[in-house]
Each structure stands twice: as structure tokens, then as C-alpha cells.
Structure 1
Amino acid sequence: MISSLSSINGLETTGRYLVLLRENAIDSGIRTLRDYTGNRRVARAADFEKNALTAEQLEQTDTTIFDNLGVAVCTLDPEQLQSLHEASDESSPIALIEAERVVYALNAQGLGGLVEQITPRTTTSPAMEYLKGYRDAVDRLVDHLVPTNGVQRMLPSPGIQVLDETTATWGLQITKVVNSKFSGRGIKVAVLDTGFDLTHPDFAGRRMIGKSFIPNQEVQDRNGHGTHCIGTACGPLSPVIPPRYGIGYETEIFVGKVLSNQGSGTDSQILAGIEWAIANGCQIISMSLGARVSLGQPYSGLFEVVADRALRNGTLIIAAAGNESQRHLGIVEPVGHPANCPSIMAVGAIDSQLQVAWFSNAGLNANGGQVDIVAPGAEPGTVGGSRIDVHSSYLMPTRYRRLAGTSMATPHVAGIAALYAEATGATGRVLWNRITQNALRLPLPSVDVGAGLVQAP
């Protein structure tokens, strides 16, 4: 069972632990876990069809093994934890132990039951003042250095304003999706989120495979966040009511419910979804979720190894950079967990003026935690005011809704990744490179926008 929530070094944790096993050491790792912890109730993903552990197995076993990932999730008391740490030397199959985190759906509005991830602040710390100065200095440096060596890297100021959404959303216009001949046919995209509204008329007859990793909750979305994200990544070419909002309209959709209807989940539920997606041969995993990270806090070594192993096996994981920044107040926060892992493509958000969204996090942590690319996530403006934001599918009977966040930017990149996968046959790191190499360079600091604005093939 999941322990009551606690905090370790500022992290919201569950009381359970993630254990990274060395490659090709699953069986010896299980024996070591049993020997040093005494845990006997062990569930292995490999024992289930398509490695789809049930939510109840995740909740009720002492130790859960994700065979494809080489990770165990364990319930450990302090003595067991100490014993396992002592066993974790170079000769042991145990490579790393981390506390399990709590994660949330990432949006910038807190609307419709979605989890509000922005904490208001009234004061600015000295560290934040330093970062503001650093950011301003970088801005000035970019202004002087681009374009360089004759290579045009800037767009005409003040950017491109595309607000006529009669036939397609502004996001699909500025990413050139509307000009692409590709549809994502034959590409499997897994969206790990709050599920999907299976009654949505725009997806009638569409092939969709779902699995819930949340106890006592079905794949059916009761939150709206997952339905919105899947709509952008995989929505139809011609929705019942225009405009077009979906990118990979012929992709195979895998709906992994790893966040509850209240918008929260855990590391183990994310890992269960990743394990399931890999077992199903998904080339792309989209995750608009995460947890806040502090300045100077390292990324998860365990999630980094998982993402690297996934890339080497042909699966690209794309995740939201996070929405904790309040740029209108001069506050910029670092990329959150797990997007801050170097082998996970971290997506920041821009608006239709090609400016960084006010909530979008930045690559402030020196060791990892960079923004890799940006995509449409909000209409210009700060908190409040009139904005069109990102239009996509939503819970019935509402049907459609406009939301803002790096959550909305992430499925733009996932859908476009599916187009590149179809167009080139690329997977894993090669697919990553195709996406970033073809991004539209922006006259903004790379800590904010990475390679630039994602563009469809």
C-alpha cells in the first residue's frame, strides 16, 4: 500500500522507493531485494499480457518489477532501506535507490478541476534576483549575436500573429502542421495522463487502446486534462466542429491513465505506463505531468537511465517542462521532474507572438534540466485578460475547451514527432535529432526555448 504523503528535501513523496537494477540483472536483483528486505509479495510486469500490471497489483504488492525498464518499486521500512543501501556497491545488481515522488497534471489555469500548479509569491529571493539579472544579460547578448556567421536565426519582430482559427488552430498553423502531408499513419503514440473521454464524437471509430494504472478508476477521463492532450497529439483531420486541432490523425492511440481524476499520480504509476507503452511498441510517449524542482536540485538518476534505455530501444519520451514560473513578476523556475532528465525531451511553451509563455519554466540547473524545444501553449498576456490559448477536445458535453500550459505544448511536439516517424522511419535518438534539427530558431535565450519552435515535416 502507498504510505501517507511526506516530504524529503522539499520533494513530495509517497514513502515508497524506486530501485534501479543494473542491465541484465533482473533475476539477481529480485533475489537481492528478497534477501535484504524480506519482501515476499513480488509482482513482475513480464508476467502480465503486454506488461500491463493492474492498478491493484501496483498498490498491494511489497515489490513491483518493471522488467523492460529494469526498475523495482518497493515498500521499505527504515531498517530495510538501510540494509539495501549497504548492499548497493559496484558488485551488486542494485544500482540506485530513490524516494518515490508525487506528480501532477501540469496546466497554467487551474480550471475545470485541473490541478493548479502555480504558487503565488509576493517576495523575490536573492537567488531569483540573480536569475533575473542573468536572464536579462542573456537576452541582451542574444540581441547582439543573432544572426551570426551569415546564418539567419531570427524571425521578424514582433513575431507571427495567427489568430484566424476558421479552419485550424493557431498552434497547427505556426508549427506548419497544416502544410504537412503526413498523418502519423502506422505510428503508436502513448499519452500518459488522466485518461480519455471515450464518448467523444470526434474519435468515433478510432483505434484506441487504454489501460488504467490508478486504483478504482477506469481509463474514462473525469478530469479533462488527458482528453485535451490526446486531442492535440492525435486528434482528427476534420473534427465535427471546426477548427482542426489534432496533429497525428492516423496514429494509433494508447491511453495510459497514470494520473487520477483529481490530476495526481506517482512515479511508479508513470513507470508502469512507460513499461506498458514500450511493451506495446509505442515509438512516442507524451507526458504532460510532473513535479516541481528547486534551483540546484539534480534530476532523477533513475528516470534518466529509464529514458536512456527507452531511447536505445526506439521509444522517445516527451514531457512538459513545467508551469511554476511567473515571468510577469520576474520569477523564472527550473524545468521540473521528470522532464529535467537529459534523455527526456523537455517542452517549453510559447504564445502566438513567439514569446515565451509567462508560466513556462527554463533550463536554469547547470547539470541537466534544459528546455529542448518549445511549442504552442498560450495566447499572449499574463494572468487574466482575454486569451484564446490552445483549443482541443474536452469532456462531453463540453466537447472542446481552451487551456494553457506546457501540458498543451507537449502534445504538439508528440504529434509532430509521429509525423517525423512516419516520414523518415526514425525512432529513439535519431527521431529526437530530426525534431530538434528542423526546429525554427527563435531570437530568444536557449535556456527558455532550446532548439526553437517545433516544425512539422
Structure 2
Amino acid sequence: MARKPTRDDGGDSGLGALGADVDAMLLAALERAEAEGGGTGEEISATDETLTTGRMIVTYKEGAADDGALANMGMRTADARDFEDGAVAMDALGDADALLLPEIGVAVISGNAASERSLGSAGAKSLASDSPISVIEPEYFAFSEGDAGEYLRGFLRAAQTIEADLRGLGAPVDEEDEEGGALVLGATPGLIASRVPQSSRSGLGIRVAVLDTGMDLGHPEFAGRAMVSRSFVGQPVQDLHSHGTHCIGTACGPLAPPGNTPRYGIAHRSTIFVGKVLSNSGTGSTGGILAGMNWAIANNCAVISMSLGAQTGVQFGYVAAGAAALARGCLIIAAAGNAASSTGAPANSPSIMSVASLDRNLAPSSFSNRGKIDISAIGRDVWSSVPRPQRHGFKTGTSMACPHVAGVAALWAQTNGSLRGMALWQRLLASARPLPYPASRVGRGLVQAP
């Protein structure tokens, strides 16, 4: 593993460093955009280079990730295998120029190292045919997909959260947390529509990774649950945002919450792998998310749920990670996005299952992205766990649909040990309830439990 620098030896310690704070990078990017464009953050285009971090993502050709290509470029390279169970501590990378993620065949290059070697670019670039590297592309910011509305609303809200936190004002109120319709006694509408209460399966023995803003590790309704947690953003796993706790609640929450609380969790006996890849502002980056994916695959999580994204084109690093997951018997499931536009990354990757949102009447949600959609679930006004002291709340978005599919996937995985990777993907599609809408809006239809 690359050592921490003890003197000024040229290591990258700025905003483009591998261990740089993602919130600080976001604020700097927003300020740069406003200075260069002379306008406000609301005028930033979703395809603007402002949404790139300055770091680069390297995708290797199959089987070539260990060939030493980055070392041959003079880069000091850290390896995820040097960390316990593959959980990279991004803030412990020291003076490393690059981070290798061997499970998925991808590496992250710091801003300085990329700049010094003229690797920076507004678009993906291919290398010579004899190079072990397939593509080098910019790293993008990514955001939690819980807020229905335009993509940049997430960008701006994240910046507002960071600024408020720095000033000690607390995070701005998310109006979606305060809304929601009446609940059906016994179970939430999303679970009922997906036929979860009728299923005899519990997810026992299945590892489910949720890569998000973390988890309220002291939430009383998860006491005693098998749980493994790691952070990839330099912050404690404890969820100060609420998005991750809500998604984990839907995918893996309890069978019978206390009091009058309806059942909101699906795979209630699964082993939960909590990967904090988004900060407490809901902000992340491609490299940190890929590090979380690498960890989940290295730990053989059969289901990997990702309610996050960026309104960009296909990112090759995510495609490689999805393919590596399928080859290892893991299935990555991602939210399509809430921009009422084309499916964003990583869900637009052909190797990652894309989930659209439905309203409670099983019609496509107005905000839900379209195009590359594989399956759908209820995502509007979803009741689930949130951090204490509130404990429960409503949220809306494709983020809320995604963990419905992940939880159901865990139930299917429990039914047969051969239902892993692509076989699990195909079973989810084959068992989905058809809906009278285009596949570009709902995919194969509404996910159904075994």
C-alpha cells in the first residue's frame, strides 16, 4: 500500500488527491463554474465539465489490471487488496497517485498525476491497441437519487448542505421526508404490490450490500442484525443524511416493527453490508463508489443496491464493475434517476440492472428516467426507516424503488443457490408483473417476490 507522506515529496495533497474530501471538491467545482460562467449554479449544464472532479478513471482490458501499466507511467499505486477485506480507506492513501481496484479491473488516478501525464480530458479516450488499458475517462460527482426532480437539484442541494454544515446551521429540510399518503396496515404499499407479505422467504444467508450514505447503526429496529459496515468517503458510517438508512430499511428492514408501524422491510434475515460511498451531504464520486463496489464484490455480496447516480452518459468504469459482479455471481441494481430524462449512470450500464419508479397506482412516476429500464417498483411516498430520533419517514424517488428490487432479489437468491449473477437477473425479469406501459418506462414490469 502506498505510504502516507512524512515530508513534501511531491504527493498530491490538493482537491484532486485520492483522499480529497468530496464535499470540498464539490464546493470548489460549484465556485469555479460560477466564476467562469458569471452565472448561478442553477445555470450549470448536466454535461458541464464542472461536474467532473479532476481525477480520472482507468478501465483495463479483461484480465490486465495487474500488469503494472500505471507503475510504468511512474505512478505510485495503492491496491485495494492491501486493505482488510478490500475496504479501501480513501483518507489513508497517503501520497499514492493511483488506486487499483482489482476485483473490477479499474483504477482511479489523482488530479495531479493525470495532469502531469496529460491524461485529463472532457471525454473518454482509448489507448493504443497493445495497451493493457482500455479507456481513460473523467471522474464525475454522483448524488443520492432520493429527491424527485432535476438532477442539478441534487447538486445544488448537496452544496447547500455542505455550506450549512460548515456554518453550523444543519442540513436544509427535504420536503419529501415530510410528505406521503396513508399507509395500509400490515405492510407498505410497495411491499404489497410486489407480493412480499405472501413470500415465505426471508433472505437468510444472503449478503445484501447497500452503497449509499451509510446507516444509523443504533436504529433500534436493526438491533442484533448481522451487519458489516465500511466507509469510502473519509466519514464515519453513521448516517447523518437519512437516505442510506431509508434504502437499507426497504431492502433489509424488520419483519414486524414494534407498535403500529407497518412492515417496510423485505429481506429481514439477510446479512447487511453497509458501504458509505456518499457523504453526509449525499455527495460522492465515481472513484469512491467504484471502491465500494469492489469491496462488495470481493465479499461475495449476491445483491448490491445503489440508489445513486449522475445524469451522464455511460461510464466505462461502471460497465466493467457490473460485468465483474455478474462473473462473480453478484448482481448490481441501480436507480434509474429522477430527471424525467434518459437513464443516468451507473444504471445506464448494460451490466447493471436499472430500476424505474412507479406511483401507487402502478403508473410510471413523472420524475422517473426512461430509456434503458429493466424493471420497476413503487418509488413514490415510500415509508421506511430513517435515523433517530424520527425513526421512520416517507421519501420519494427511483432511490426508493431500487431497494424494493434489491430486497426481492435477495428473496429469490435464497430459493436456489444457482440464482446468482445473470441467472438472478433473468429470474427477476421473468417473474415481473407486466404493466401496460412502454418498456422504456417500466422495463419488464413490477418486481414480484417468490
Name the TM-score class by shorter chain: 0.7 to 0.9
The residue number in structure 2 matching 1:142 is: none
The residue number in structure 2 matching 1:322 is: 337
Check 1:59–1:273 CA distance in 2 against 1; reply closer, same or farther (3 A cut).
farther
Cα distance in structure 2, aligned partners of 1:59 and 1:371: 40
Matching of residue 271 in structure 1 with residue 286 in structure 2? no
Cα deviation digits, residues 355-406 of structure 1 (max 9, x gap): 111210100xxxxxx111110101xxxxxxxxxx100000101000011000
Letter in 2 for 1:430: A
Check 1:344–1:60 CA distance in 2 against 1; reply closer, same or farther (3 A cut).
farther
Cα deviation digits, residues 131-161 of structure 1 (max 9, x gap): xxxxxxxxxxxxxxxxxxxxxxxxxxxxxxx
Cα distance in structure 2, aligned partners of 1:164 and 1:264: 31
The match for 1:407 among 399, 410, 415 is 399
Aligned 8 A contact 1:214 1:259 in 2: yes
Aligned 8 A contact 2:80 2:102 in 1: yes
The residue number in structure 2 matching 1:10 is: 48
The match for 1:391 among 383, 395, 405 is 383
Cα deviation digits, residues 404-441 of structure 1 (max 9, x gap): 00000000000000000001220000000000110000
SS across alignment from 1:46: helix
The match for 1:231 among 232, 245, 249 is 249
Matching of residue 428 in structure 1 with residue 399 in structure 2? no
TM-score under structure 2 normalisation?
A: 0.80
The match for 1:260 among 270, 273, 279 is 279
Cα deviation digits, residues 221-273 of structure 1 (max 9, x gap): 00000000000000000112320000000000000000000000001111111
Check 1:265–1:354 CA distance in 2 against 1; reply closer, same or farther (3 A cut).
same
Aligned 8 A contact 1:109 1:403 in 2: no
Cα distance in structure 2, aligned partners of 1:107 and 1:77: 33
The match for 2:217 among 176, 198, 220 is 198
Cα distance in structure 2, aligned partners of 1:59 and 1:397: 37
The residue number in structure 2 matching 1:21 is: 60
Cα distance in structure 2, aligned partners of 1:271 and 1:59: 19
The match for 1:90 among 124, 129, 145 is 129
Matching of residue 348 in structure 1 with residue 367 in structure 2? no
**Superposition pairs for residues 11-90 of structure 1, below 5 Å?**
11=49, 12-28=51-67, 30=68, 32-36=69-73, 38-40=74-76, 42-57=77-92, 61-75=96-110, 76-82=113-119, 88-90=127-129
Q: CA deviation at 1:313?
A: 1.1
Letter in 2 for 1:55: M
Cα distance in structure 1, aligned partners of 2:228 and 2:272: 6
Q: CA deviation at 1:109?
A: 5.2
Output the aligned Cα RMSD. 2.4
Cα distance in structure 2, aligned partners of 1:79 and 1:436: 47
**Superposition pairs for residues 118-129 of structure 1, below 5 Å?**
none
Matching of residue 102 in structure 1 with residue 102 in structure 2? no
The runs of 5 or more residues in structure 2 that have no matched partner are: 1-12, 17-24, 34-45, 157-180
Cα deviation digits, residues 15-54 of structure 1 (max 9, x gap): 00011122222232x3x21222x222x2101112211111
Check 1:239–1:83 CA distance in 2 against 1; reply closer, same or farther (3 A cut).
closer
Q: How many residues align?
A: 381
Q: CA deviation at 1:118?
A: 9.0
TM-score under structure 1 normalisation?
A: 0.79
Cα distance in structure 2, aligned partners of 1:170 and 1:334: 27
SS across alignment from 1:277: helix
Letter in 2 for 1:23: E
Letter in 1 for 2:395: L
Aligned 8 A contact 1:347 1:409 in 2: yes
Aligned 8 A contact 2:278 2:284 in 1: yes
Q: CA deviation at 1:194?
A: 0.3
Cα distance in structure 2, aligned partners of 1:443 and 1:376: 15
The residue number in structure 2 matching 1:419 is: 411
Letter in 1 for 2:379: G
SS across alignment from 1:430: helix
Q: CA deviation at 1:88?
A: 2.3
Letter in 1 for 2:321: V
Q: CA deviation at 1:284?
A: 0.7
Check 1:185–1:118 CA distance in 2 against 1; reply closer, same or farther (3 A cut).
same
Aligned 8 A contact 1:393 1:399 in 2: yes
Cα deviation digits, residues 329-358 of structure 1 (max 9, x gap): xxxx11011111111100000011111112
Matching of residue 243 in structure 1 with residue 236 in structure 2? no
Q: CA deviation at 1:100?
A: 0.5
**Superposition pairs for residues 103-142 of structure 1, below 5 Å?**
103-108=142-147, 116-117=153-154
Between 78-87 and 309-318, report the one with greater CA deviation: 78-87
Aligned 8 A contact 2:56 2:120 in 1: no
Cα deviation digits, residues 283-320 of structure 1 (max 9, x gap): 11000000113xxxx41123112211211111100000
The residue number in structure 1 matching 2:302 is: 283
The runs of 5 or more residues in structure 1 that have no matched partner are: 120-161, 326-332, 364-369, 379-388
The residue number in structure 1 matching 2:233 is: 214
Check 1:354–1:90 CA distance in 2 against 1; reply closer, same or farther (3 A cut).
same
Q: CA deviation at 1:94?
A: 1.0
The match for 2:319 among 304, 328, 347 is 304
SS across alignment from 1:18: strand
Cα distance in structure 2, aligned partners of 1:89 and 1:254: 39
Cα distance in structure 1, aligned partners of 2:337 and 2:155: 10
